[in-house]
Structure 1
Amino acid sequence: MRPQQNGYVLVSPDLLCQLMERTGDGRPVSVRELARVAGCHPSKIGHLRTGERSTADENEAPAIARRLGVDLLVLWAPTGRTVEAPAESLPMAAVSA
């Protein structure tokens, strides 16, 4: 049995339904097609739509967002450890000669 990998939480089931009705290319996408693209069972997409389930793994969430034509973080919120912000470079000071 493989360990549970829930890397993302769905922001809103209603948003998922709306995006499925009109994707980035203007056409609707079916539950079966979205499941095929995401590599999961159609019942998982159905449960995401109804709110019975709210998580997807690191492979499914980006695939769903890509097929719907939206950025990942429009539809999903990452879970797990906090990602550290990159260090900012310090401004250079002028040195008198």
Structure 2
Amino acid sequence: MSSPSLPRYRLVNPTLFRMLMQRTGTGAQLTLRDLGDLVGIPHTTIGNVLAGDQESVSSETAQAIATTIGVDLLILWVPVERAAKMQPAAVVRELVAA
């Protein structure tokens, strides 16, 4: 379970997420069920995030999904508390400045 001090993460682009599931960093293709099993969460959680029915996930879940797919966290996710309402260019500027 996520600590209250850790940010939650919102999916940046569902289409990109689906595309990366088709060919992960290892070259494998993952279904929602496969990814859920590997990450240790219900596959319905992933489906709900992709459909927009679930707004965010814990930092641990976001990191586990990104790691399993084989990409950096911020390729798929944006912290809700810090940058979710920022325009994409502003997010990039903030990351570059860090």
Whether the TM-score (by the shorter chain) exceeds 0.5 is yes
The CA RMSD measured in Å over matched residues stands at: 2.5
User: Any stretches of 5+ residues in structure 1 without a counterpart?
Assistant: 83-97
Percent of aligned pairs with the same residue? Answer: 37
TM-score, L = length of structure 1: 0.71
Higher share in helix: 2
Work out the number of aligned pairs and report it: 82
**Equivalent residue number for residue 93 of structure 1:** none
- Quote the residue 2:17 is aligned against: 16
* Aligned equivalents of 1:18, 1:81: Cα separation in 2: 26
**Structure (1 or 2) with the larger CA radius of gyration:** 1
Name the SS of the counterpart of 1:56 in structure 2.
Answer: coil
Q: Which amino acid aligns with 1:55?
A: S
The corresponding residue for 1:59 is 60
CA distance in 2, matches of 1:65, 1:3: 19
Which sections of structure 2, spanning at least 5 residues, go unmatched?
84-98
Report the Cα distance in structure 2 between the residues aligned to 1:12 and 1:27, rounded to whole angstroms.
Answer: 20
TM-score, length-normalised on structure 2? Answer: 0.70
